[in-house]
Amino acid sequence: MKLNRRAIFGTVTAGALALSLAACGGDDGESSSPEINGTGASFPDAFYAAAIEGYADVNADAVVTYDAVGSGTGKSDFGEGLNDFAGTDSLVGEGDGPEEGSYQYIPTVAAPITVSYNLPGVEALQLSQETLAQIFQGDVTTWDDPLIAADNPEAELPATEITIAHRSDGSGTTSNFSMFLDEATESWTLGAGDTIEWPSNSVGGDGNTGVAQTIQDTEGAIGYVDLADATESGLVFASVENADGNFTQPTLEGTTAGLEGAVVNDDLSYNPLNAAGPDAYPITAPTYILIRTEYEDAEVGQAVKDFVEYLLTDGQELAAEAHFAALPESLQQQALDALNETIAD
């Protein structure tokens, strides 16, 4: 299904380019609107693909491309001036590329990170936060371990060995998942970040689709995948214990519940992980667009502003169908204000 999204993406950009060339009314091959390109997080890829398609419908001159190469690469590209905007699910850290003061976070949507697994015969699995931590750091290595059994007293768990499926690239999805385990549990020892030193019973996959494919292909596998890719791959999701002690599924309703209590920082970053609330899904992740505080080409800056403004307004209506939760109205307005302050007309 990821290939389908990329097929749509290619059609959109090619069609938009053809329309923009026609709009010029000449043969010099120059577009009336500059092409803008983004690279970065694969987590929001489904939403950005849908938004690019929707944007082309309302702005035929626009040419927008987005390459889902992972948050780490997106931030690095941004620092090197290789893209016009970057997608990232994690914050900029030391050594990531962008210099302090050169960027502004613009939140766009949020979504749950699923804990997906491949265990034939077990269609309903519950995992407490501590059990989840011990699985992913390699302390629990078989599915019939007493910790998993305690979370699932009615399930018939096989002795199948556990294979951890994780991202092989620098990833905001990894950052948010590991941050959740680091903040919510006492037993997690692997730290948090875009990359993690995973245990020996693990297999890396490129992007969220790569992790999803590993889970599909490996009986006994468990991994973390965004809701859009997990749904499109037909994966089975575990219910994860939230801060109130309830086991919740990764739904958009649970994501929205998790957003309600999040505190937004001055730079518009926020942390909805393990938010309080009986219905909140605990591994709820934000995603951001990095825009430049200064664009050398004013037309490129304006084109970026126009596209990001669309993401924050009409584009929000596309979120649910792509398996993402729209921003709360207050955060949406804060993002629009920051966009207008950063890139003046």
**CATH number assigned to the domain comprising residue 248:** 3.40.190.10
**What was the pLDDT predicted at 10?**
38
Select from 145, 111, 114, 151 the least CA-distant residue to 129: 151
Helix (H) or strand (E) holding 246: none
CA nearest 242: which of 272, 279, 286? Answer: 279
Are 66 and 289 contacting, i.e. CB atoms less than 8 angstroms apart? no
Burial of 186 (0-12, 13-18, 19+ CB in 10 A): exposed
pLDDT for residue 345: 77
Residue 224 pairs in a beta bridge with 115
Is 275 among the domain residues? no
Mean pLDDT, consecutive 10-residue stretches, the chain (345 aa), reads 37 36 41 87 95 95 95 96 96 92 97 97 96 98 98 96 96 94 97 95 94 97 96 97 97 93 92 94 97 97 97 98 96 97 90
Q: State whether 106 and 132 are in the same domain.
A: no
- If asked whether residues 33 and 72 sit together in one domain, one would say yes
Closest CA to 114 of 198, 223, 196, 276: 223
**Chosen domain end from 241, 260, 279:** 260
Tell whether 87 and 24 lie within a shared domain: yes
**Residue 247 and residue 238: Cα distance in Å, rounded?**
9
Distance from C-alpha of 342 to C-alpha of 345, rounded to nearest angstrom: 10
Q: Which domain holds residue 321?
A: 2-110+287-342
CA distances 85 to 35, 100, 259, Å, are 12, 15, 24
Residues 88 and 142 grouped into a single domain = no
Please indicate, yes or no, whether residues 203 and 293 belong to a single structural domain of this protein.
no
Cβ proximity of 49 and 66 under 8 Å = yes
pTM: 0.86
Residue 160 CA: distances (Å) to CA of 58, 121, 200, 222: 52, 12, 16, 12
pLDDT at residue number 152:
98
pLDDT at 291: 98
**Count of structural domains within the chain:** 2
Both tokens assigned to 260: 């309600």
Alpha helices in 203-328 (DSSP H): 207-217, 227-232, 252-260, 298-312
Shared domain check, 326 and 297: yes
277: left (phi over 0), alpha (psi -120 to 50) or beta: left
* Tokens linked to 95: 């050594």
Q: Identify the pLDDT of residue 315.
A: 98
**So what's the pLDDT on residue 229?**
93
Rounded Cα distance, 23 and 61, in Å? 7
User: Across 293-345, where does the E strand assignment appear?
Assistant: 325-326
The reply to whether 181 and 98 lie within a common domain is no
Give bridge partners of residue 120 from the DSSP assignment.
none
What token pair was written down for 326?
């729209």
Tell me which amino acid residue 56 is: A
Strand partners, 39: 67, 86
Q: Are residues 121 and 249 in the same domain?
A: yes
**Which one-letter amino acid corresponds to residue 297?**
D
Q: Report if residue 203 sits inside a domain.
A: yes
